[in-house]
A and B are shown apart, each in its own frame.
Chain A
Amino acid sequence: QVQLQESGPGLVKPSETLSLTCVVSGFSINQGYYWAWIRQPPGGGLEWFGSIYHSGGTYHNPSLMSRVSISVDTSKNQFSLKLSSVTAADTAVYYCARQASGGIAGLDYWGQGVLVTVSS
């Protein structure tokens, strides 16, 4: 059973960098697949940040690319997100997910999400 679990601070100050990690269990990242980060503001819609392959290859949402860094640590079977220069607009539930068949078959496994609040 594939499981994903996000972790990171629930409160980040404005202008600082948000850092989150997603630990994957029940499946080896080295088996392939792209792994994605998505967020959802309270009561809002879903926004994709970017995705990473086990080899480290990434692609990003152009609207966020300048502030986003995604990395993978296959030895720990996890991948991470860094979002710099955060503002209150970055307050959201952050999810990690697996892309099925490279993405053409959607995002088939999701973590439970972690709420990150940006506030001083």
Chain B
Amino acid sequence: EIVLTQSPGTLSLSPGERATLSCRAGQRVSSDYLAWYQQKPGQPPRLVIYGTSSRATGIPDRFSGSGSGTDFTLTISRLEPEDFAVYFCQQYGSSPLFAFGPGTKVEIK
């Protein structure tokens, strides 16, 4: 069973700063099928990045994804007030077919 870990657990930053979130898999992620989701309180997750580095529809270009194999990163170049949320990474392809990381909370410093 593939396990995803995310770091840090909480990231305290100010608007305008750069956020770097990490996701590490216990084994290689199939064909780099790694996605990131943003979740705000009381809302469902929103797809941000898929296929490691492709932005989902409507996602601004301050969001970018990178990585390969077992180590992946979500970068938000300049934080806007609406970016403060919890971010989950998710892999597709290993068992279980969809596995999620525990999340990183990006909070206002």
Residues of A within 8 A of B (CB): 36, 38, 45-48, 51, 59, 61-63, 95, 97, 100, 103-108, 110-113
Asked if A110 contacts B45 (CB within 8 A), the reply is yes
Q: Among the listed A48, A95, A112, which residue makes an inter-chain contact with B96, where contact means beta carbons less than 8 Å apart?
A: A48
Contact flag A106-B92 (CB < 8 Å), given A51-B97, A111-B44: yes
A13, chain B: closest CB distance, angstroms: 26
Q: Among the listed B98, B101, B102, which residue makes an inter-chain contact with A103, where contact means beta carbons less than 8 Å apart?
A: B98
**B40-71 CB contact bits vs A (8 Å, 1 = yes)?**
00011111001100101100000000000000
Which single residue of chain B is at the shortest CB-CB distance from A46? B100
Which single residue of chain A is at the shortest CB-CB distance from B86? A45
> Please, how many angstroms separate the alpha-carbon atoms of A27 and B32 in the complex?
28
Contact flag A107-B100 (CB < 8 Å), given A45-B88, A46-B88, A62-B95: no
> Please, how many angstroms separate the alpha-carbon atoms of A113 and B44 in the complex?
7
Asked if A106 contacts B56 (CB within 8 A), the reply is yes
Contact flag A61-B96 (CB < 8 Å), given A106-B35, A106-B90: yes
Contact flag A110-B44 (CB < 8 Å), given A45-B103, A104-B31: yes
Residue B99 is within 8 A (CB to CB) of chain A in the complex: yes
B101, chain A: closest CB distance, angstroms: 7
Asked if A36 contacts B103 (CB within 8 A), the reply is no
Most buried by A among B31, B46, B97, B100: B97
